[in-house]
Amino acid sequence: MIGHHPFLPHLKALLQAARLARGIHVYYLEKGFSQGTKSGPNDLVTQADKEAEEAIRDFLLARFPEAGFFGEEGGSHGSKEMRFIVDPLDGTVNYAHGFPFYGVSLALEVAGRIEVGVIMDTARNETFYALRGGGAYLDGRPIRVTERTELLGSLLATGFPYDVAKDPENLTYFSRALRRGLLVRRPGAAALDLAYVAAGRLEGFWEVKLNPWDVAAGWLLVEEAGGRVTGLKGEPYALGNRYIVATNGRIHEALLQVLQEDLE
Ligand code: IPD
Ligand code: CA
Ligand code: CA
Ligand code: CA
């Protein structure tokens, strides 16, 4: 099915771009890197974030000059009809500490729809990718979400924005989940969290205040792997929404209910 997909050339280019990013992540991890902060002391940006984004942008736009580009570090430029949405290093805090859970997330959006998604774990060298209508894969093998139907015992992940102290909304959901006895992790790289739902390593994931570059590729991966992605009330997800809930589908309603339920 993947063999004749109209966006196969874009998938191939995104896979190459992910490898370029990996080279940069690995290089700076070995050599050492300069770093600074953005919105606050925990919101780090390193030389690897910036150089990976430049390398990805130059590579993709040389190949597809008509496309626009929307990256975390450089903002949005060019066409919005067809554009690449890129997080050059997802999990920067993990990366800066040598905690091996980070990667790169690349998506192609055409007429407002994500058509291709690639997420590479650049520490483990695992590559997750999906083509709309063509399925989801990990290193060339098809992946599926899990078949677990019970929320209790399901493995879930979430994350927090850098300004969580000022905007602690997700603490409410986190606390509701823990008080219900759910198993929750906070791995620290939203794109990989979504890829893990797609690959059946997690049953579900939710987060508040993510950006389009964090979720564009993972959203498609979860759906192509047979899962479900919505907002907090079960409404269809759209890029830029404040809430994202992504699951294997089977635990979705039960998770939405726990997140919305006031125990007090
Ligand atoms: C962050 C990570 C983290 C999530 C934050 C994101 P960055 O992205 O995905 O898991 O909780 O909300 O901002 O800054 O490392 O690319
Ligand atoms: Ca960042
Ligand atoms: Ca990110
Ligand atoms: Ca990033």
The tokens for 149 are 């139907």
- Grouping H, G, I as helix, E, B as strand and the rest as coil, residue 222 is helix
Check if the beta carbon of residue 119 is closer than 8 Å to that of residue 216.
Answer: no
Residue 110 has pLDDT above 70, yes or no: yes
What's the CA-to-centroid distance between 120 and ligand 4, angstroms? 13
Q: What is the ipTM of this complex?
A: 0.98
Kindly give the number of the ligand 1 atom that is closest to the alpha carbon of 160.
11
pLDDT of 1 reads 59
Pocket mutation for ligand 1, best pick of 42, 186, 214 (most atoms within 8 Å of C-beta): 214
Mind listing the pLDDT tens digit for each residue in 7-63?
999 999 999 999 999 999 999 999 999 999 999 999 999 999 999 999 999 999 999
Q: Which domains does the chain have, with CATH numbers?
A: 2-142 (3.30.540.10), 155-260 (3.40.190.80)
Residue whose entry in the numeric block shows the structure tokens 């997909």: 5
pLDDT of 4 reads 85
Across the range 234-244, mean pLDDT stands at 97
Nearest CA to ligand 1 atom 11: 159
- Grouping H, G, I as helix, E, B as strand and the rest as coil, residue 166 is coil
Rounded CA separation 109/2 (Å): 18
User: For ligand 2, a single-atom ion, which residues have Cβ within 5 Å?
Assistant: 92
pLDDT of 264 reads 58
Neighbours of 81 (CB within 10 A): 12
Mind listing the pLDDT tens digit for each residue in 211-225?
999 999 999 999 999
SS3 helix, strand, coil % of the chain, rounded to 5? Answer: 35, 25, 40
Residue 196 has pLDDT above 80, yes or no: yes
Rounded CA separation 27/230 (Å): 37
- Rounded (10°) angle between helices 190-198 and 212-224: 0
Mind listing the pLDDT tens digit for each residue in 154-189?
999 999 999 999 999 999 999 999 999 999 999 999
pLDDT of 2 reads 76
Residues with CB under 6 A from ligand 1: 87, 90-92, 159-161, 188-190, 210, 214
Query: Amino acid identity, residue 61?
Result: L
User: For ligand 4, a single-atom ion, which residues have Cβ within 5 Å?
Assistant: 72, 87, 89-90
Kindly give the number of the ligand 1 atom that is closest to the alpha carbon of 193.
10
